[in-house]
Each structure stands twice: as structure tokens, then as C-alpha cells.
Amino acid sequence: MSAGQFATIADIRTALRSKTTSAEELAREHLNRIARSELNSFVTVSEDDALATAREADRQIARQGQSGLLGIPIAHKDVFCTAGVRTTCASRMLAEFVPPYDATVVTKLRDAGAIMLGKTNMDEFAMGSSNENSHFGPVSNPWDATRVPGGSSGGSAAAVAAGLVPAATATDTGGSIRQPAALCGISGLKPTYGRVSRYGMVAFASSLDQGGPMARTAHDLRLLLHHMEGHDPLDSTSADVGPTPRGAGGTGLRIGIPREYGRDLDARLAATVDEAAAVFEGLGHERQDVSLPHTAYATAAYYVVASAEASTNLSRYDGVRYGHRAESPADLDDLYARSRSEGFGAEVKRRILTGTYALSIGYYDAYYRKAQRLRRLVRQDFLDAFATVDLILAPSTPSTAFEKGALLAPDETKDPTVMYEQDIYTVPASLAGLPALSIPCGNVGGLPVGMQLIAPHFGEDRLLGLAESFQRETDWHERTPPP
């Protein structure tokens, strides 16, 4: 007997402990679901490895019982390097790339006993908000296959929402965990920048990239975070702060509602966030208005900073050592130009060009330097706000999941910044390096709505505690997509 298609990690742990299922049985069930799924949420399924690891987990469970994530099936976003299993970043550039090493997050989760079933689809190099920028094709939203799951962690979000895995890793640079979590009706946490090691996570924008978990509940997020976080000597930007404490998050908290976040928001979505605030009030917390005055500039600053970093992070894909290489190049320039032109998709090229431009002599001050200044102002906004409130409650996205193709700008006939506006509520916390999560808080027109909670640096404990208390009061997180 299985623990159920939409079982949480907590449920599965109980089932494994009571021997009503085994790790191998769980792995097989989930692998079957993945095989039958038409969402295109996986790029690679590592069935043999998964079953072998599951059998080993069962032996361990028989010896010493279930603990940690032992026997829990998970998937990794295809941005995390996995030794011996291809890691593509959903790019033609890395379509054949098999890393010789594991990302720190991958190692940690394996050490905790998690069983990796495969690698999930994503926007190419994590650039995108719809998972349509994938060399392996778009991912469908489990709630409506004509709609996008969000991005860039669209594969992980769709897979969790559809019950293909109870949890998955993801990464968030400007909203790539929170936005797809919201559009797919699941829980996703972007930890504080530095909480989770970036080693082995293919870089998009180094000062913003942060790995984190996606799951069905905040409780599961906490469990996953516990096995992902920690100082890593291989990542100079990883913080040496010790583990996230297992507290309840506190009572009588002051929850700030930023004035600037409502402006472009669909009224039906605004209403769900408002209802969520009422739930918190009912739990004894206090609602308070706050101002984050530089919010309007955050998206522009983000796209300059992130693209600038990306333009150099992606320079290593030159066709010389690994990755896509153009056939019979005429000379070195031709090798570079064609390998990169053929290997990268349109959005990646656009960001490389944008970033290169922003860093060029004569434009550096006008773009990169100015964007960094704005970034500091956005960060200061939050620090000021946290002087009067303990947490910030905000919408996760300006709309529910949109139709495939609606916002995509595959060529110059469409404006790519329309898609970028998907990130207006998630980008500010990214620029400030703050922990933020998105959990389901409503349903509009049959599609899930997410809300965002943002805490001060390293305030994951408070964030998760509050989200857990919300999920004890409500059942939005228990809703599942139509079969």
C-alpha cells in the first residue's frame, strides 16, 4: 500500500516506519508516475540508480529504522551537478554534459538518505519565468496543461504539484522557486543568500542564486532545508551561521503589508492575500502597513545585475573543453561564435548581450553601477521595514498561471520585459538576499494562488513557523490538480 500520490514527506516517513511501504516500492510508484506523466517535467530519469539506492535504503531502514530523508524520493533541478548523471541546465550547450562531481546540495541530500529519481526541466540556465526557454521543450502546469508552470524551476514545481515526487530541489535567482511554486500550488522556499551552498549549482547570477526546496508543505520545506543548508568551504559566499533552529516562529508577530506591492495585482489575487492576512490576525499576529519605496526600480536593477553576472558566468561555454562544439570551425573566432550561437537559446543570448552591454566601457556607470546602487536602496528599504515589522506578507505573482506562449518573446517582435514583470514581487527579496517563501493561499478560476512571506536575513525559522501555522489553519496546500 502506497502512502498516496500526494503524500507529504512526513506521511511517507510514517509509512516507511510502519513498514506499510518500502523505499523501493515508493521509488517504483513514483518512477511509474513520472513515466506516465505528460507534463515534460523531467529531463533525465535515473531509474536504475534510483532503484539500487532505494534497495540500499531499505536495507538501512531494516537495520536501524527510518531517519532523516532515508527512502524519500526526490528530484533535482537540472542545474545541480550530479556525478555520472547528465546535467543539462535545459540547454543544448550542456545537452550531453555529464559532471564528474556532485553539487554540495546533492551530496548532502544523498547523505540524508534521499533517493534521486531524476533531473527536472527548467528554463535554460535558469533564465525565464515560464519554463518555455528549455532545449527539452516547455513544461505543462498540472492544473491546466495549456498553461505554464512558471519558471525557471518549472519542472520541479510541476513534478511536486502532480505528485511525481513529494519534493524537489530548485534554485531562485529572482523568483525561480517562489513564482513556479505559486503557479503550481505548492510550497517553495528561497533561503537567505549564503544559507545553502552554491557549489555545483550551475551559475546564472552568482550574487543572487540560491538553492532551496520545493514540497507540499512548509513542514516538509523545513525538513529539506535542514538537510540542504550549512557552511561549505567550497563556496566562499556560504554563511557560517549554524543550522536553522526548529522553533515555532513566535507569537504576536508584526506582519508588514508593503503598500507598493498591490499596484499591478489582479483584484482576485489581492483578495486571497488579504484573507491570508486575516488568518494571521486570527492567530494573534498584527497586520501593519509598511513602505518599500524603491520597489518600482527593483526589476530593472535586477535584470542589469543578473545579466551582467550571467554574461561572464556563461563565458566558459566556449566549445573548447566541454559542451556543445560547432562542427569544423574555420578558426578560433568561428569556433566561439558558432558554438555559442548554436548552443544557447534566444533568452540566454539576450541576457548575455544585455549583461555585456551593461559592463562595457562607457556604459558601466550608467547601468551596472547604477543598478548596484539601486540594489543597495532596495535592501535598505527592507532593513528599514524590519525595524518596525517582523515579517512581510506579499503576493508571490501578479497573476495565476498564464497560457503557454502568452508572454514568450522568441524574437524581436515581442517585448521580453513583459515576462520579466512576472518577477516584480519576488525580485526585491532576491536583491536584498532575504529568505522568502511562497505557499498556496487561494484559488482563482481553478488555478492556485500563492502568497509570499519575507523575513530578515537568516530568519527562515520565523518564516517556516508562520507558514506552518497558516497551513494548520487552512487547506489550500492540500488541494491537488484535477486528475
Partner 1 sequence: MSQWESVIGLEVHVQLQTRSKIFSGAPTAFGAPPNTQACAVDLALPGVLPVLNAEAVRMAIVFGLAVEGEIAERCRFDRKSYFYPDLPKGYQISQLDEPIVRGGHLDIETDDGAAKRVRLTRAHLEEDAGKSLHEDYQGKTGIDLNRAGTPLLEVVSEPELASPEEAGRYFRALHTLVRTLGICDGNLNEGSMRCDANVSVRPRGSTDLGERTEIKNLNSFRFLDKALAFEIQRQIDVLESGGSVERQTLLYDAERDETRPMRGKELSDDYRYFPDPDLLPVVVTQSMLAQARATIPELPAAKRRRYVDELGLTDYDARWLTVDPDTAAYFDAAATACGRPKAAANWIMGDVAAAVRREDAAWTEVPVSASQLGKLIERIEDGSISGKIAKSLFKTLWDDGGEVDELIDSQGLRQVSDSDEIAAIVREVIDANPAQVEQVRSGKIRVLGFLVGQAMKASGGKANPKRVSELLQAALSTDGS
Query: Is residue 309 within the footprint of partner 1 (CB under 8 A)?
Result: yes
Q: Residue 236, interface with partner 1 (CB under 8 A)?
A: yes
Cα 306–chain centre separation: 16
User: Minimum distance from CB of 151 to partner 1 (Å)?
Assistant: 19
Is 205 one of the binding residues for partner 1 (CB under 8 A)? Answer: yes
Distance of CA 113 to the CA centre of its chain: 22
165-204: which residues touch partner 1 (CB under 8 A)?
198-203
> Please, where are the H alpha helices in 154-253?
154-161, 178-184, 218-226
Q: Which of 60, 206, 288, 480 binds partner 1 (CB under 8 A)?
A: 206
Measured CA distances, 192 to 46, 48, 132, 323, 456 (Å): 30, 35, 27, 31, 9
Choose one: 69-77, 243-251, 317-325, 386-394; the region binding partner 1 (CB under 8 A): 317-325
Complex with partner 1: residue 106 or 419, whichever CB lies closer: 106
Residue 22 is among the residues annotated as catalytic for this protein: no
For residue 79, the minimal CB distance to partner 1 (Å) is 8
> Residues 81 to 110: which contact partner 1 by CB under 8 A?
81, 87, 89, 94, 97, 99-101, 103
Q: Minimum CB separation from partner 1 for residue 447, in Å? A: 34
Cα angle 225, 226, 232; round to 5: 90
Query: Which stretch in 355-363, 374-382, 415-423, 432-440 sits in contact with partner 1 by CB under 8 A?
Result: 355-363
Q: Does residue 32 bind partner 1 (CB under 8 A)?
A: no
How many Cβ atoms from other residues are within 10 Å of residue 196's Cβ? 29
Is 235 near partner 1 (CB under 8 A)? yes
Q: Which of 152, 156, 399, 469 is catalytic?
A: 152
**Least distance in Å: CB of 350 to partner 1?**
17
Three-class SS state of 188: strand
Contact 196, 80 (CB under 8 A): no
| Rounded Cα–Cα distance for residues 427 and 434 (Å) | 10
| 190 catalytic residue (yes or no) | no
Q: How many CB atoms lie within 10 A of CB 111?
A: 11
- How would DSSP label each residue in 321-362? SSS---SS-SSHHHHHHHHHHHHS-HHHHHHHHHHHHHHSTT
Stretch that binds partner 1, among 128-136, 183-191, 231-239, 461-469 (CB under 8 A): 231-239
* 414 touching partner 1, by CB under 8 A: no
Task: Report the residue number, 1 or 361, with the smaller CB distance to partner 1.
Answer: 361
Catalytic-labelled residue, pool 41, 46, 77, 307: 77
Alpha carbon 89 to its chain centroid, in Å, reads 14
C-alpha cell at 238: 556560504
Our finding on whether 356 is near partner 1 (CB under 8 A) is yes
Looking at residue 403, the DSSP 8-state letter turns out to be B
| Smallest separation, CB 329 to partner 1 (Å) | 11
Contact 279, 471 (CB under 8 A): no
Determine contact, residues 256/392, Cβ cutoff 8 Å: yes
| Residue placing its CB nearer to partner 1 in the complex, 378 or 394 | 378
CB of 212 to partner 1, least distance (A): 16
Give dist(CA 371, CA 377) in Å, integer. 10
Cell numbers at 224, concatenated: 529539506
Cα dihedral 56, 61, 64, 66, rounded to 10, equals: 130
Q: Is 176 a catalytic residue?
A: yes
368 sits near partner 1 (criterion: CB under 8 A): yes
What's the rounded Cα separation, in Å, for the pair 301 and 304? 5
| Nearer Cβ to partner 1 (8/104) | 104
Q: How far is the CB of 89 from partner 1 (least distance, A)?
A: 7
Joined together, the cell numbers standing for residue 226 give: 535542514
Residue 321 interacting with partner 1 (CB under 8 A):
yes
Q: Count the residues of the shown chain that bind partner 1, applying the rule CB under 8 A.
A: 42
Task: Select from 320, 353, 383, 418 the one that contacts partner 1 (CB under 8 A).
Answer: 320
Residue pair 148/174 in contact by the 8 Å Cβ criterion: no
Residues annotated as catalytic are 77, 152, 176
Interacting residues with partner 1 (CB under 8 A): 80-81, 87, 89, 94, 97, 99-101, 103, 198-203, 205-207, 233-237, 308-309, 311-312, 315-316, 318, 320-322, 332, 336, 356, 359-361, 364, 368
